[in-house]
């Protein structure tokens, strides 16, 4: 009698909702094995029985040959008693026990489904919800684990006999595809328009929506993770009206194109950008504009005024493909504006009733459907820097995939910041960054934070016993988490320390040695109560030394200085001992009465918090050079200064893969002065004084140099400062690794210049790729710092020890 062996196999990772059970079924039956496979909260669990050689072959390449969307973290197997029996089955999923499986992100419609969508002979021809094992909604429809139809928002749609037959057929692409449906049994798309709102009688919803878009209407379009507001990108009136209704200022809109060929004459498309556009994630990709004629024919000026980039994504749902037109469809808009369905500052709308209410003043019509969205999820945003992806918003297509941590951490919740909020859950060697939440100054966003945190805890099984927050006393994210602590320890983490720790965690640093952390951003609460933001810290996870910082200047009026960059320019000029001469653009931009009051405010130091912010210095130079005097959205002045630098460098002929090779020489006058510690103050950090740089900017502006030349020289000066400080830190402390982090390093011109200069001087350079350098990545660093703190407070509020050392 032949030997028989039975093994129990547990597969952990992203193995539910990606066709793993059908894959196991096919593999087992192909090897002649008996047994079963099921989903559990722990992962996919199988038992296989048969000839020892066949059982061994089944186990050996189970991970290597897994379906393309699967991410296998571990395969564990052990021998169990032989039970006999024949055949292999997929059995009902088991609930109960802690969740340890990983839910798949939403995935763009695959090529096979698109072919069926366009095939008149296919029963899913033009079906707006076509999907299969390899594509479609996942994270945004999950209500619980294990991942089965009963635990998704598709539970309300019983399968028709045809869909049920495909679902049960191991040879079918839709074998155990949980969102499977067809026109007979699936969700229903409908268009609502007019006053009062109604469905146009007898009209095809998509055809009518395309007609409305072509006529200049603004549509609310229900997507995977929320509603978009859409209009024809070439219709100047529609774009301007959408901008007015949404109170968006000059913040750029994102575009959706049917295929790369529709945009390659508008933007630079290198191989990296093309791969990002066409991959399964389908993020918004920021692409450098091409200077050229014909642009206005497809993209109205108001789509992205003053921006060097166009943010473009390709369709990722069947509805998107239908809106942009299938082969043979009547002509329609070639490019659509696709922006989040909300008022600026509010969270994205997901609920249908809420959409009719909250978007009533924004949309002319609603293209909606009856499949609920359980988890809000904004579009991800990415750009390319020096040929590699630089994530600016990690959301749809990435969440809730975990990041692997270099150290094991206790169950921890990190709250993140108040701008671009994303929180983070971690336990063991895994960290889950949430989808993009938004800016926390709105009550609806705070409610969205609470809901998202509860949902992520439910699908990860993480029950945090340790909480981490930003040290800023006014942060709403911190207040929210403290209010729900329930006696759990809450650790305050310094903002820029968290940024550096985030970069270290992304690059797998175990914390055994310090790095030179360069954290440049707009604002972060400092240990001395000042607004930090131009920081060089010698840091590991357990603490930091403030080695150097941008010299303090007054921040006159707080947010007023942020929204009116000319105020920062005038503050910097005064600190540098330079006059407010009327021929300077920043002086001319300031109304006379405001100028008088600002002078008095600075003289008396009224409402003038000291700041070392590099972001505010970029604002100041932007105004001083005549580029931007009023900021209608975050970092507008800095973004437009980067755009000006690109015009001077001639990078418009580049590949679009970052800012490499575009920097002008700053010249000897564009150099920061380094102030050594005062006598007897050896523990004080170095201060980088921008006064010489500002004097050079004033000279060049008066000489009539183009703003782009001034901008390019300033960027080079900042890169030069980073290089000088890194060399000094190496000479004094023997450190060889530099981490570049903070929102200022979303600027690819600066990031590329710094990385090139540091590499030439022998440093190892860490830059963000998968985690945003801005506050969207802050929570990952908070989690690592809190988890590695030498000791945790037993309850209430604490600060991470070792976080206040200062020494040059």
Give me the count of residues in the chain. Answer: 808
- Show the tokens assigned to 15: 């193995």
Contacts of 64 (CB under 8 A, 6+ apart): none
Contact assessment for residue 341 and residue 355, using Cβ atoms and an 8 Å cutoff: yes
CA 523 to CA 496: how far, in whole Å? 9
DSSP assignment string, 440-488: TTSHHHHHHHHHHHHHHHHHH----SEEEEES-TT-HHHHHHHHT-TT-
What is the separation, in whole angstroms, between the first and last Cα of the chain? 78
- Show the tokens assigned to 370: 């009856």
CA 530 to CA 249: how far, in whole Å? 29
Whether 659 has a pLDDT exceeding 60, the answer reads no
Whether 648 has a pLDDT exceeding 90, the answer reads no
Within 10 A of 301 (CB to CB), how many other CB atoms are there? 12
Query: Taken in order 467, 471, 477, 482, is the CA torsion positive or negative?
Result: positive
- Show the tokens assigned to 217: 């209407």
- State how beta strands 515-525 and 737-741 pair: parallel
Q: Mean pLDDT, to the nearest integer, of 340-347?
A: 85
CA 599 to CA 609: how far, in whole Å? 15
Axis crossing angle, helix 691-702 with helix 614-624, rounded to the nearest 10:
20
Q: How confident is the model at residue 482 (pLDDT cuts 50, 70, 90)?
A: very high
In order of 327, 659, 731, the CA distances from 671 in angstroms are 57, 21, 20
Residue 805: its pLDDT value, please? 47
Contact assessment for residue 228 and residue 324, using Cβ atoms and an 8 Å cutoff: no
Residue 178: its pLDDT value, please? 92
- Which letter does DSSP use for residue 332 in this model? -
- State how beta strands 515-525 and 531-539 pair: antiparallel
Helices (H), 461-591: 476-483, 495-506, 559-563, 565-575, 585-589
- Which letter does DSSP use for residue 297 in this model? H
Residue 656: its pLDDT value, please? 47
Whether 114 has a pLDDT exceeding 80, the answer reads yes
**More confidently predicted of 218 and 101:** 218
Residue closest to 336 by CA, chosen among 316, 315, 317: 315
Residue 98: its pLDDT value, please? 60
Residue 664: its pLDDT value, please? 57
Q: Count the helix, strand and coil residues of the chain and give each as a percent rounded to the nearest 5.
A: 35, 25, 45
Within 10 A of 215 (CB to CB), how many other CB atoms are there? 11
**More confidently predicted of 61 and 467:** 467
Contact assessment for residue 290 and residue 652, using Cβ atoms and an 8 Å cutoff: yes
Contacts of 188 (CB under 8 A, 6+ apart): 369, 370
Helix (H, G, I), strand (E, B) or coil at 755: helix
Q: Mean pLDDT, to the nearest integer, of 375-404?
A: 96
Highest mean pLDDT, choosing among 13-17, 294-298, 545-549: 545-549
Contacts of 732 (CB under 8 A, 6+ apart): 808
- Considering the chain, what is the average pLDDT of its residues? 92
- Which letter does DSSP use for residue 136 in this model? B
Q: Mean pLDDT, to the nearest integer, of 205-225?
A: 97
Q: Mean pLDDT, to the nearest integer, of 498-511?
A: 97
Q: Express each pLDDT in 483-500 by its tens digit.
A: 999 999 999 999 999 999
Highest mean pLDDT, choosing among 36-40, 165-169, 282-286, 344-348: 282-286
Residue 147: its pLDDT value, please? 83
Q: Express each pLDDT in 276-333 by its tens digit.
A: 999 999 999 999 998 763 455 689 999 999 899 999 999 999 999 999 999 999 999 9
Contact assessment for residue 655 and residue 268, using Cβ atoms and an 8 Å cutoff: yes
| Weakest mean pLDDT among 201-205, 257-261, 640-644 | 201-205
Q: Mean pLDDT, to the nearest integer, of 55-82?
A: 91
CA 789 to CA 271: how far, in whole Å? 42
Contact assessment for residue 74 and residue 13, using Cβ atoms and an 8 Å cutoff: yes
CA 36 to CA 30: how far, in whole Å? 14
Residue 296: its pLDDT value, please? 58
Q: Express each pLDDT in 761-789 by its tens digit.
A: 999 999 999 999 999 999 999 999 999 99
CA 516 to CA 10: how far, in whole Å? 42
Within 10 A of 756 (CB to CB), how many other CB atoms are there? 18
Residue 802: its pLDDT value, please? 44
Helix (H, G, I), strand (E, B) or coil at 23: helix
In order of 576, 626, 650, the CA distances from 695 in angstroms are 8, 15, 25
Contact assessment for residue 611 and residue 552, using Cβ atoms and an 8 Å cutoff: yes
In order of 43, 402, 403, the CA distances from 461 in angstroms are 12, 13, 16
Residue 804: its pLDDT value, please? 47
CA 620 to CA 502: how far, in whole Å? 28
CA 52 to CA 59: how far, in whole Å? 11
Whether 340 has a pLDDT exceeding 90, the answer reads yes
Phi, psi of 731 (to 5 degrees): -60, -40
Axis crossing angle, helix 707-733 with helix 748-760, rounded to the nearest 10:
40
Residue 251: its pLDDT value, please? 93
Residue closest to 505 by CA, chosen among 772, 700, 257: 772
Dihedral angle, C-alpha 38, 40, 46, 47, nearest 10 °: -100
Residue closest to 701 by CA, chosen among 670, 665, 722: 670
Q: Express each pLDDT in 791-805 by its tens digit.
A: 654 444 555 544 544
Q: How confident is the model at residue 652 (pLDDT cuts 50, 70, 90)?
A: very low
In order of 212, 229, 338, 361, 443, the CA distances from 218 in angstroms are 8, 7, 10, 11, 26
Whether 683 has a pLDDT exceeding 80, the answer reads no
Q: Express each pLDDT in 735-752 by its tens digit.
A: 999 999 999 999 999 999
Q: Mean pLDDT, to the nearest integer, of 375-387?
A: 97
Residue 678: its pLDDT value, please? 59
| Weakest mean pLDDT among 142-146, 214-218, 502-506 | 142-146
Give the HSE-up count for residue 387: Cα atoms under 13 Å, Cβ half-sphere: 3
Burial of 296 (0-12, 13-18, 19+ CB in 10 A): exposed
Residue 660: its pLDDT value, please? 46
């Amino acid at each position: 009698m032949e030997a028989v062996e039975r093994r129990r196999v547990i597969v952990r990772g992203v193995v539910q909702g990606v066709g793993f059970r059908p894959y196991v079924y096919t593999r087992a039956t192909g090897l002649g094995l008996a047994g079963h496979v099921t989903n559990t909260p722990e992962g996919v669990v199988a038992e296989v029985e048969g000839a020892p050689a066949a059982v061994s072959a089944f186990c050996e390449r189970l991970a290597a040959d897994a379906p393309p969307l699967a991410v296998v973290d571990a395969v564990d197997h052990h021998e169990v008693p032989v039970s006999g029996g024949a055949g292999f089955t997929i059995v009902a999923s088991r609930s109960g026990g802690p969740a340890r499986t990983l839910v798949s992100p939403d995935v763009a419609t695959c090529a096979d489904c698109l072919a069926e969508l366009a095939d008149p002979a296919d029963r899913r021809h033009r079906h707006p919800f076509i999907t299969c094992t390899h594509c479609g909604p996942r994270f945004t429809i999950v209500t619980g684990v294990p991942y089965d139809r009963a635990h998704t928002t598709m539970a309300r749609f019983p399968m028709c006999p045809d869909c049920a037959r495909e679902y049960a057929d191991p040879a079918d692409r839709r074998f155990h595809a949980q969102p499977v449906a067809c026109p007979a049994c699936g969700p229903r798309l409908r268009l609502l328009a007019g006053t009062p709102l109604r469905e146009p009688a007898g009209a095809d919803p998509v055809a009518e929506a395309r007609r409305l878009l072509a006529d200049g209407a603004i549509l609310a379009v229900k997507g995977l993770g929320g509603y978009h507001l859409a209009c024809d990108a070439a219709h100047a009136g529609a774009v301007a009206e959408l901008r007015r209704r949404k109170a968006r200022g000059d913040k750029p809109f994102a575009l959706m194109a049917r295929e790369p060929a529709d945009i390659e004459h508008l933007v630079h498309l290198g191989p990296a950008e093309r791969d990002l556009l066409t991959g399964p994630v389908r993020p918004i990709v920021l692409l450098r504009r091409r200077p050229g004629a014909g642009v206005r024919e497809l993209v109205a000026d108001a789509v992205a005024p003053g921006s060097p980039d166009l943010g473009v994504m390709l369709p990722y749902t069947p509805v998107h493909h239908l809106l942009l037109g299938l082969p043979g469809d009547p002509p329609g808009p070639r490019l659509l504006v696709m922006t989040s369905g909300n008022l600026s500052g509010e969270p994205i709308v997901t609920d249908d009733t809420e959409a009719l209410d909250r978007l009533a003043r924004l949309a002319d019509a609603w293209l909606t459907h009856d499949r609920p969205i359980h988890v809000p999820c904004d579009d991800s945003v990415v750009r390319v820097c020096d040929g590699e992806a630089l994530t600016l918003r990690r959301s749809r297509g990435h969440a809730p995939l975990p990041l692997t941590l270099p150290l094991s951490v206790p169950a921890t919740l990190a709250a993140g910041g108040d701008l671009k909020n994303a929180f983070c859950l971690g336990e063991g060697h895994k960290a889950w960054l949430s989808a993009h939440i938004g800016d926390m100054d709105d009550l609806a966003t705070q409610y969205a934070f609470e809901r998202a945190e509860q949902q992520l805890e439910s699908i990860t099984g993480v029950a945090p016993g340790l909480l981490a927050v930003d040290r800023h006393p006014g942060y709403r994210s911190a207040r929210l988490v403290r209010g729900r602590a329930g006696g759990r320890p809450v650790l305050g983490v310094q903002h820029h320390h968290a940024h550096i720790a985030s970069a270290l965690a992304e690059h797998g640093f175990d914390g055994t040695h310090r790095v030179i952390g360069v954290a440049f951003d707009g604002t972060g609460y400092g240990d001395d109560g000042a607004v930090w933001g131009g920081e060089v810290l010698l840091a590991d996870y357990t603490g930091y030394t403030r080695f150097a910082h941008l010299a303090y200047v007054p921040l006159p009026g707080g947010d007023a200085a942020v929204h009116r960059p000319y105020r920062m320019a005038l503050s910097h000029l005064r600190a540098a001992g330079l006059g407010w001469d009327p021929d300077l653009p920043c002086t001319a931009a300031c109304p006379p009465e405001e100028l008088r009051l600002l002078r008095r405010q600075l003289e008396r130091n009224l409402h003038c918090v000291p700041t070392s912010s590099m972001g505010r210095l970029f604002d100041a130079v932007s105004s001083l050079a005549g580029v931007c005097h009023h900021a209608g959205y975050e970092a507008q002045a800095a973004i437009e200064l980067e755009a000006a630098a690109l015009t001077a460098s001639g990078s418009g002929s580049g590949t679009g893969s970052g800012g490499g090779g575009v920097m002008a020489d700053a010249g000897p006058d564009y150099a920061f002065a380094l102030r050594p510690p005062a006598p007897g103050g050896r523990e004080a950090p170095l201060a980088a004084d921008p006064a010489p740089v500002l004097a050079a900017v004033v000279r060049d502006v008066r000489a009539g140099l183009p703003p782009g030349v001034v901008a390019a020289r300033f960027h080079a000066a900042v890169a030069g400062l980073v290089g000088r400080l890194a060399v000094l830190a190496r000479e004094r402390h023997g450190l060889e690794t530099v981490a570049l982090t903070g929102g200022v390093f979303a600027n690819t011109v600066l990031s590329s210049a710094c990385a090139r200069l540091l590499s030439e001087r022998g440093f190892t350079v860490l830059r963000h790729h998968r985690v945003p350098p801005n506050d969207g990545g802050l929570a990952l660093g908070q989690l690592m710092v809190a988890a590695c703190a030498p000791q945790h407070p037993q309850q209430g509020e604490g600060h991470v020890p070792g976080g206040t050392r200062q020494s040059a």
